[in-house]
Structure 1
Amino acid sequence: MGRGRTRTGKDGAMAPRPRELTPDRSARDLFGAELRRHRERAGMSLRRLSEVLNYSKSHLARIETAESLPYDDLPAKLDVCFGTDGLFARLHAVAKKEPFPGKYRRVIEIERQATTIEQYLSATAPGLLQTADYAARLMRAVQQHAPDAEIEAQVTARLARQARLWGSRPPRCWFILDESVLRRGFGGPEVMRHQLQVLVECAEQRHLTIQVLPFSAGEHPEVLGGSLTLYTLPDRLTLAYEEGSRSGAFFENREEVAERRASYDLLRALSLSPRDSEAMIRAAMEDWTPCEPPVI
């Protein structure tokens, strides 16, 4: 969902309109829309509401735009503040069943349907293969001010996605990891070593293939700094999804998908073989082994 046109703020600067919500499609959006509606009807700014509730303004803003959900007593506080007789408590009971923000919901749905998943990642381990500790540290790095309960809920949702890989009919998955994934630490040596060990164990499964794109392969501007995923559905239709640090986009047009297929195939050709990739991952594991203190 894009933003609307800009408007003039109190200081004369042009401020973006609040993100448009779709309360008829999502309980998360409905919660945010009702929060915004009652706040504006009361003539309160986000700053003023945060002062009244003794609650983070930035988190309130994320809740209004359906990017986050409250994970404490905020719904009850909102009902008291606006006199809504349990409305926000009831909305929260439904909205918390949607662990993913709206912008990721379609990605998750496509992922659930896909019979083949081919993914290139330039900076992090695949979400489908992440350990709980690695996922938590990664999410905390991206959302530094989010409540701990929100991070925990997101980690739980991410781990739940992985169950399909170990079901009776798992998708065929092919992961290409930039070498930086092995070198950039999230959570320190122990967390990284465990994550790399899990990658090695996953690569032993017949339906999972992992390759490493080494630094020596050079630059690849078409996907540098982001991720590219190709989803093949049961009807053999292939969709492409590109994601950067702040946004993501699906591509369904046959020519656009073909362009991204060509990019992925080039990355696969330039990557190390699965056997050599395993060797590089094991070598990186040794690099993440904590050094023993010298004996005095």
Structure 2
Amino acid sequence: MARIKLPPTIRQRRLGAELRRLRERADLNATQAGALLGSSQSRVSSIESGAYAVSADRVRATARAYGCTDSPLIEALAGMTGGRTRGWWDEYRDILPPSMLDMAELEHHAQAMRIACVIHLPGLLQTRDHARVIISAVEPPLSPPEVEHRVSYRIKRQAILYGEQPTPLDTIIHEAALRMDFGGPDVARAQLEHLLSLSEQEHITVRVIPFGSGAFPSSGQAIVHLSGEVPHLDTVELDTDHGSEFLDTQPQLARYRSTLDRMATLALTPTESRDMIHRIAQGL
């Protein structure tokens, strides 16, 4: 039986995209780059699409041939090689959309994360019951098994917050998201108590933007900033109605870093935020 070739992961695609950017910065087309590297135009194109795995040494040689002198970036790119690493999320490959699997892979490799939410609470901080209510409300409606698959997937993603080296997480949550009362008082109260418990963890920061804080640069969609091995390799994920949108160009990254920074200036301190979450939970 022929072995099924799996599509490139988002990490492989990002490596290829960064090598393409280095080539373009060197003012080389793919044919010229192939000649410079002792390869071919088709091989260069395959590498840049993430379809052809390359070694760490090959990445270093390619980056230097393109005139890159940023050693930390070169080493970070070299660290993204090694072929296709299978993760727990591959169990869901025939069940969930590819963008959802991409998100789990990005979270797995992130050095740190910043999240800003206005309407919904971050998926990484949701309880199972809260997640089920949210997922059950999507359009078009999902079947009960599909809902449970997505709920279990969301809960498994939260493993990055636990263990010996949990991922640092800084969240900004608007007061509106705390007051949505999804699932009724019992589910909402349990969710807020869970959020309070997590906010006590050393590696998790929760800050609330209260009503009346003024305008801020967000359309209401969740913003997730995932830190790479070096800032150049950061990624922003926007949670849109049509699914996840991943951004990784330097202007895009700069824009959303600035957006998160501006939102942070409107937020309460972590202690003040915990007090507000506690008051809202008591009022349910």
Specify the TM-score bucket, using the shorter chain as the normaliser: 0.5 to 0.7
Q: Work out whether 1:233 is the aligned partner of 2:209.
A: no
The equivalent residue for 1:73 is none
Give the structure 2 partner of residue 9 of structure 1. Answer: none
- The aligned residue for residue 39 of structure 2 is none
Alignment of structure 1 residues 73-92 onto 2, 5 Å: none
Answering whether residue 162 of structure 2 is matched by residue 157 of structure 1, we say no
Whether contact under 8 Å (2:128, 2:151) holds in the other structure is: yes
- Give the AA of the match of 1:258: A
Which runs of structure 2 are paired with 1:234-253 in the superposition (5 Å)? 234-236=229-231, 237-253=233-249
Structure 1: runs of 5+ lacking an equivalent: 1-22, 27-93, 289-296
Q: Deviation per CA, 1:144-167: give whole Å up to 9, x if none.
A: 632111111111111111112111
CA distance in 1, matches of 2:92, 2:143: 15
Call closer, same or farther: CA 1:223–1:24 in 2, change over 3 Å.
farther
The question of whether the paired residues in 2 share the 8 Å contact of 1:132 and 1:155 is answered with: yes
Equivalent residue for 1:90?
none
Deviations 1:196-245, CA, capped at 9 Å, x for gaps: 0001000100000000111211232x322211111002344321122222
Structure 2 residue 142 is matched with structure 1 residue 133: no
The 5-angstrom pairing of residues 59-208 of structure 1 reads: 96=92, 98-143=94-139, 145-208=141-204
Structure 2's unaligned 5+ residue stretches are: 8-89
| Paired residue secondary structure (2:99) | helix
Amino acid at match of 2:170: W
1:156-191, Cα deviation, whole Å (9 max, x unpaired): 111111112111111110011111111112110000
Name the larger-Rg structure. 1
d(CA) in 2 for partners of 1:105, 1:268: 29
- How far did 1:96 drift? 5.0
Aligned to 2:261: 265
TM-score by length of 2: 0.65
What's the C-alpha RMSD, in Å, of the aligned pairs? 1.9
Q: Percent identity?
A: 29
Deviates more, 1:230-239 or 1:131-140: 230-239
Q: CA–CA distance in 2 between the matches of 1:105 and 1:118?
A: 19
Q: Count residues with an aligned counterpart.
A: 198
Equivalent in the alignment of 1:219: 215
Q: Residues 225 and 244 of structure 1 are in contact (CA less than 8 Å); yes or no, is this contact kept in structure 2?
A: no
CA distance in 1, matches of 2:148, 2:94: 14
Judging changes above 3 Å, is the alpha-carbon distance between structure 1 residues 215 and 245 closer, same or farther for their aligned structure 2 residues? farther
